[in-house]
Amino acid sequence: MKIVAGLGNPGSAYAGHRHNVGFMALDRLQALPGMGPWRSRFQGLACDGTLGGARVLLLKPQTFMNLSGQSVSEALRFLKLAPSDLTVVHDDIDLAPGRLKVKTGGGHAGHNGLRSISQHIGDAYHRVRIGVGHPGHKDAVAPYVLHDFSKADGAWLDALLRGIEDGAEALARQDWPALQNAVALRAAPPRPPKPRPGPPPGPPPDAPPDAPQATDDPRSVLRRLADRFR
């Protein structure tokens, strides 16, 4: 079994915040066939089931962002899993809106949810980073992430979340190239190939060299041939 934890803050007041995009992603996954209902477990909301045959526990910590590690570490201990069995889905201000990247290990880059998790279990877990963009100045970061997505964000956000749905099995199996490809196809679907130009107009291949060609000329065939050899 693997654990996929989405980060966010509990309560309806935070539901649309950029900081809660991890919760949004997990809500999409929970609605897929094979997943059970949300239940109160591990200081959070958890559901288990299968995504494409892969056994997985989805976890939304309800401890508020700064204490996410309490919930995540409790689930790992109970299920006797290692940090490498954990994937954390979270917002990332260092990525452009709509971008998704996967990282294993490393620092928390100032993200309080990751900081808390790393304090409890170390940093050898996987992170699915969802880009939400940067407000432009570090002093504006907190109000920016603790604010609802704008209407202009709606199209790319829905495409990205649909891509995560498409890549649900890959996420559960920790197949990162397949997950990133699924998201990329939603974010920038391939263009249909341009039609190839047809052959130029002319006589059919088996026509004799001097065969008369189709024309809009109203004169009779014999008249045209006579005019041609004058």
CA–CA distances in Å: residue 213 to residues 92, 120, 224: 67, 84, 11
Catalytic choice (17, 19, 111, 126): 19
> CB pairs under 8 A, 24+ apart, for 75-84?
75/3, 75/5, 75/41, 75/42, 75/44, 75/46, 76/3, 76/121, 78/42, 79/1, 79/3, 81/1, 81/2, 81/3, 82/124, 83/121, 83/122, 83/123, 83/124, 83/125, 84/124, 84/125, 84/126
| 19 included as an active-site residue | yes
User: What are the residue numbers of the active site?
Assistant: 19
